Structure 1
Amino acid sequence: MTWEPERLDDQSLLAEADQGAMLPAIAAAAAQVRTAHRDASEAGVARLARDGRPRAIVVAGMGAAALAGDILAVICGYGAPVPIVTVRSGRLPGWVGAADLVMAVSSSGQTTETLAVAAEAVRRGASLMAVGAQGSPLQAVATQSSALFVPVTAQGPPRARLWSLAVPLLAGAGALGLTQDGTDLFEGVARALEDMAHRCRPSSESFVNPGKALAMELAESVPMVWGASPLTAVAAHRLALQLHENAKYPAIWGELPEALHNQLAVLDGPLAERDIFADTAERTLRLVVLREADDRPQALFKVAEDRGVPVSELIAEGVNPLERLATLIELVDYASAYLALGYGIDPTPVTSITELKARISQ
């Protein structure tokens, strides 16, 4: 596969390569926010507050569903009066019981690990909120236990439905008084997503399109993606995951300051070396730092500059934490898709994952 950046500004080539319609799915993020907030309200998410705040909230999910739990935790913040834990497996922590709320999230409603956690939560007497497809096994678990169920109506692959999964959780947290809630909040997020989608639209040329520009910086590199704060670390994780699935591209992610105590050493390794006399381009390290406007790690950038390691900076935009996180995620989603398309790869299929699931189920 050869990187051909000219593909990014050729509308016919983009449409031909994007057979799974990933770009339209990314552009639908704002609609997802509005629809998911309406669906959560109509499902009766406010009922979560009837019995008061739980002792703890556990979000169970895999992939984008687990990331929805990370979004919930970072938006509620360190000051939340209850701990929020994301479980990426098929088992609940041993301490979970009747005083706790389990949010089981699966876009398809069929994820084996999530179904196991939901059933275990019911057995232990924990409160259950389920988010998934209508008519799915997850809805059946919720119905049988008289638990709250919020339907996911968005189309496309699960990783393209992130906001359909995250917004019901945020609405539930709002009902519990753990974070801001209301139509105005989510409408502001939707407008911010629309703005970023407009700037990253396929017809916008590379020199003014932030999604295409980031893809061009990432191409032919080994990205090490760091978030400079808990909020931007969630977006850094999302970028790495989307590079894996959309672009079939390796990436490392981490969070500052922890990454400075281990991952930083990579800047002195073989992947950071550049041979300016080489006949062919080498795939060498690129540092990608996601940060908020007032948090620029100057010392880190100086260390990278001294070693000749290029740095890409992504700065969060928005008037509140959720808007800042949402716009970063929208940008990196576009960049991962454009990176795939620049290599002539359809972003949607994940053949190896599908094959592994089929082998496991046999």
Structure 2
Amino acid sequence: MDRAPGMSVRLRLALSYAGFLMVAGALLLAAVWLFLLRYVPERALLVSSDTLTHGVFPVRSGLLRAFAPSAAAVLVFLLVFGLLGGWVLAGHMLAPLSRITDATRRATDGSLSHRIRLPGREDEFRELADAFDTMLARIETHVAEQQRFVANASHELRTPLAISKALLDVARTDPGRDTGELLDRLHAVNTRAIDLTEALLLLSRAEQRSFTREPVDLSLVAEEATETLLPLAEKHGVTIETGGDIAPTSGSQALLLQLTVNLVHNAIVHNLPDRGAVRVSTGVRPRTVVLTVENTGEKLAPRLVPTLTEPFQRGTERVRTDHAGVGLGLAIARTITHAHDGTLTLTPRAAGGLRVTVELPAAAPRTGPEGT
């Protein structure tokens, strides 16, 4: 709906300043006038010649005729001075707001790299500008991550489709080819595509936080995840050790289980080729609970570790394994952690391998008969 144009804030502030100054001046003139009236008679005084009093004694009517033009001139001066001064002061006061508005327009046009960087002392406008700069930085980072994610997802999804097309083209040109091998390869390619699609859906669900919170014990989740992946660990010759304390938190049981499964699966697959080990533990801190998954393995470069939680970030040796996954394991774990208001930290172990620490808010203690 179209809105009728109105007065600018600067003009309204200028009028307000001028109006306030006019009222203050009028009150001051009225106070002076009332003060003078106390000592000015309404009628002329008769003074005898033998008194010591000499001079002219004005009456109220004469004083009013002399005072009114001067008072009117003062009020006109205050009006003009108030308008001009108010206009200048309002422009100076609203200058930071103009910079914020300009930055907002640039962001609306798609320029997220611009920052206000408002100078000066800390005040309401400075706080607003700093908050806006922080918001722009986060949005720019999020948009860049989304664009990179979409590009990587498109590439990952295009790869199995291209392989399927190539296999079908080969089968069409060579009717005598063994169909059993073709079906096995098509099945493997389609399975990978389905796993990737499900991982993308899970990642989207975690980002949207579309889940119901309920009490969850991370120690029980860790036990369930390790039991589920125990056959995979035995196949890779990896031993799993679990331990720790009861770690109550709140969130989605299914998502936290998926988080733990992803971390344990990653620790099993990316381990030593022989006699590898994985340790899963839980703990309690003053206000948080902690899930730690660490494994043995090759030494990791410190610069490489922060990139492991990016979607589709896998080393070359990971891609060649039959359990390489879809490159979203740690990315999903990080997203689930953030959706539960927690933090996920990756730390390379000095002896080789990786330590992943998930810290989540602890559940509020129960009160009442059932909680005692």
Alignment TM class, shorter chain as reference:
under 0.3
Larger radius of gyration: 2
Q: TM-score, normalised by structure 1?
A: 0.22
Give 1 or 2: higher helix fraction: 2
Q: TM-score, normalised by structure 2?
A: 0.21
**Which structure is higher in RCO with an 8 Å CA cutoff and minimum separation 6?**
1
